[in-house]
Amino acid sequence: MSNNEIKTSRRTVLCAGAAAVAAVGIAGRAVAQEKIDKSIVMYQDKPHEGQQCDKCLQFVAPNSCTIVAGVISPTGWCGAFAPKP
């Protein structure tokens, strides 16, 4: 095997490895961005015992959530409620 063939082989392996790492990173982000259906977290459009979405760490104004799918009412509530610090 010549030096030229070895360099080409190493380059091919390194490029393939870099592509694999990038693909895993992209796939990991896609999985992390999937949101939970409202029914799974018992979402409701009204507060529960003083807890409501706009007081939750996961709430994104004006009407979204980082973990629950769909439109979220600021005065809604779900079982994934986590109070803001």
From first to last of its 85 residues, what are the pLDDT tens digits of the chain? 555 555 556 666 555 555 555 555 555 555 557 999 999 999 999 999 999 999 999 999 999 999 999 999 999 999 999 999 9
Structure tokens at 8: 């080409």
17 shares a domain with 53: no
40 shares a domain with 28: no
pTM confidence score: 0.61
Q: Is 72 helix (H, G, I), strand (E, B) or coil?
A: coil
pLDDT given at position 23: 53
Angle, CA 47 vertex, CA 44 and CA 49 arms, to 5°? 120
83 shares a domain with 47: yes
Identify the CATH number of the domain in which residue 80 sits: 4.10.490.10
46 shares a domain with 76: yes
20: containing domain:
1-34
